[in-house]
Structure 1
Amino acid sequence: MVRNTGRSATSDWVIRSAQAGSIERIEAWFGNHGYDPHRHDTYSIGRTLAGVQSFHYKGSLRHGVPGNTLVLHPDEVHDGMAGTEAGFRYRMAYIDPSLIQNVLGGEPLPFIAGGLSNDPRLYHASEALVQAVDHPLEAFEEQDALYDLAVALRAVAGKPSGRKRLDYQSAERARAFIMEHLHLGITLEMLEHVTGRERWSLSRDFRTLYGTSPYRFVTLRRLDCFRRLILNGLTLVDAALAAGFHGQSHLTRHFTRCFGVPPLRWLERLRRAR
């Protein structure tokens, strides 16, 4: 992917990896404000390349600098802004919790307090995932990196205490059903029928294992579909309806809560990076 090194210092930009795969990777630069408060159901694993990357997280203002690793937990509210007038540049990989569960096999998702870590185990384990976005990840390399990341997250976070036994198989059946039937009006009753698990226990385990509620999971998968459609040239209205939203305003509300900017602004930043 070719970068335009002649951009003005006031022009924010985001580059997404063009590689089709299970992990979304970006590199971005912001001169001031980046994102409003938002939350998504992936781990956000990042590396500040230059400047100070500031963000509100769990009630405090954090500051990412080169040398540490950002680890934002799924579905935790955060924003993003430059910590100095010099702006900041960073890379981020968005990791579906199900990929971590492929390694952990039903353990609660590891939580890294504060959203930042100086632990060298996390830094080295995340290195392959936050390399330049124009470097394609081979399938084997990605799988190896995901294993290393899951093990490092578990080691750095420590083992949670006081958790009841989780029904990973039922939660995974529910997740697989959702992925195959996004076109339906999915309900907890449906998931209860598919899994044979009482709906509220299933919902609790789903949150612990995948970082978000079943309803949010459905909504965010539809947002993924919407992003693919607008990148392929569909209008916002047509893409919103095709992805399962009631209309553009319904879509915009959910999109902004998830990504911190409205869809047109998100698309504009990507276009600037081309």
Structure 2
Amino acid sequence: MATTEARNAGEWARHWQYPGVPGLDLLRARYVRHSFARHSHEGYVFGAVFRGIEDVVMPEGTIRARPGTVVMINPEVPHSAHAGVPEGWSYATLYPSADVVAGIADETTSLRGTAGFAETIVEDADTARLIRAVHQAAEEGNALAADSLLRVAVARLLRRHGRALPPRAPTAAGARTAALAKSLLEERMAQPPSLEQLANELGTGPFALLRAFKSAYGMPPHTWLTNARVRSARRLLEAGTAPVDAAAAVGFSDQPHLNRHFTRIVGVPPGAYQRERARTYKTGPGDPS
């Protein structure tokens, strides 16, 4: 079959882009022992479990995603996930870009500002079925259906559960320090300073920097840096860079180091991710659910 999968002890996953629907990533998977490390996304997450239970660890606590629920995560909100039952979970997830969601919100709702969601999980079985239907249409190569169903699903979630996200509060001194630290880490991603060195450069103490950074970004600097490295590696892989070269470019010690962190954040190994990005069409059905 024309699909790239990561398989281990009954687990399988496909993380891909369908050219017929720009601005959308798709993940369909069954996980048992796999767990997602703490990370965030530049765009939105809409997930629908159709078998088992997924425990999603959010800043406000752990939610249990069961069949018939939809998980909705706003951009840049840190979270992790793991199986909530021994048999794991099977699910379909949509990752539309912020621009895609903003365009749908402008056309179909009266929300002003940045559209988002106050709740992380809702009982919404019909929209959960729509999320699976987007995957099915994309896997069948039906661009008209996939694009239409995506827009209907996102518009329905926005109308039923959406709100305008509050504007950012005025930047406090700690937040300014965290933002400067983030910029320095982005600039020196391949060779980052130690926490003490970073704090010294910013004229603060290591523990004060830890507190400020976690308050601003929901995770400590080293966790944020791993997430940022994986994001950068994704862009390099999409451009055709070999995984071993991508690992070195973003600061991982070697390709196995990249593989481990990439898989725990993206859900598939970098090689499988790159092969899917190189695929321009699909010639066979996906995994049976």
Which TM-score band (shorter chain)? 0.5 to 0.7
Secondary structure of 2:87's match?
coil
User: What is the aligned partner in structure 2 of residue 214 from structure 1?
Assistant: none
Which residue of the other structure, out of 233, 237, 243, is the alignment partner of 1:227? 237
Which residue of the other structure, out of 128, 147, 153, is the alignment partner of 1:143? 147
Secondary structure of 1:69's match?
strand
User: What is the aligned partner in structure 2 of residue 39 from structure 1?
Assistant: 40
Map Cα deviations across residues 97-125 of structure 1 (whole Å, 9 max, x no partner): 10111222363122141x21113564365
User: What is the aligned partner in structure 1 of residue 139 from structure 2?
Assistant: 134
User: What is the aligned partner in structure 2 of residue 156 from structure 1?
Assistant: 160
Counterparts of residues 104-183 of structure 1 (less than 5 Å): 104-105=105-106, 107-113=113-119, 115-119=120-124, 122-123=127-128, 126-131=131-136, 134-138=139-143, 140-160=144-164
In structure 1, give the amino acid aligned to 2:269: W
The alpha-carbon deviation at position 252 of structure 1 amounts to 10
Question: Could you say if the C-alpha distance between residues 160 and 3 of structure 1 is closer, same or farther in structure 2, counting changes exceeding 3 Å?
Answer: closer
In structure 2, give the amino acid aligned to 1:144: S
Map Cα deviations across residues 36-88 of structure 1 (whole Å, 9 max, x no partner): 11111121111112111111013211111111112122111111111111111
User: What is the aligned partner in structure 1 of residue 196 from structure 2?
Assistant: none
Identity %: 16
Counterparts of residues 228-267 of structure 1 (less than 5 Å): 228-229=238-239, 234-237=242-245, 239=246, 245=249, 247-248=251-252, 261=264, 266-267=269-270
Secondary structure of 1:101's match?
helix
Map Cα deviations across residues 107-144 of structure 1 (whole Å, 9 max, x no partner): 3122141x211135643653533437633341x33432
Give the superposed CA RMSD. 4.2
In structure 1, give the amino acid aligned to 2:33: N
In structure 2, give the amino acid aligned to 1:13: W
Structure 1 segments, 4+ long, off by >6 Å, are 218-221, 250-257, 262-265, 268-271
User: What is the aligned partner in structure 2 of residue 69 from structure 1?
Assistant: 70
User: What is the aligned partner in structure 1 of residue 12 from structure 2?
Assistant: 13
Gaps of 5+ in 1: 165-184, 186-217
Output the CA distance in 1 between the equivalents of 2:256 and 2:267. 9
Secondary structure of 1:62's match?
strand
The number of residue pairs the alignment matches comes to 210
Partners of 1:252 and 1:263 within 8 A in 2: no
Partners of 1:112 and 1:153 within 8 A in 2: no
Map Cα deviations across residues 205-224 of structure 1 (whole Å, 9 max, x no partner): xxxxxxxxxxxxx9887444
Gaps of 5+ in 2: 107-111, 169-186, 188-227, 276-285
Partners of 2:38 and 2:265 within 8 A in 1: no
TM-score by length of 1: 0.59
Partners of 1:12 and 1:30 within 8 A in 2: yes
Moved more, 32-41 or 143-152: 143-152
In structure 2, give the amino acid aligned to 1:49: F
Secondary structure of 2:264's match?
coil
TM-score by length of 2: 0.57
Q: Quick check: 1:54 aligned with 2:67?
A: no
Output the CA distance in 2 between the equivalents of 1:123 and 1:12. 21
Output the CA distance in 2 between the equivalents of 1:31 and 1:56. 16
Output the CA distance in 2 between the equivalents of 1:24 and 1:67. 22
Partners of 1:30 and 1:82 within 8 A in 2: yes
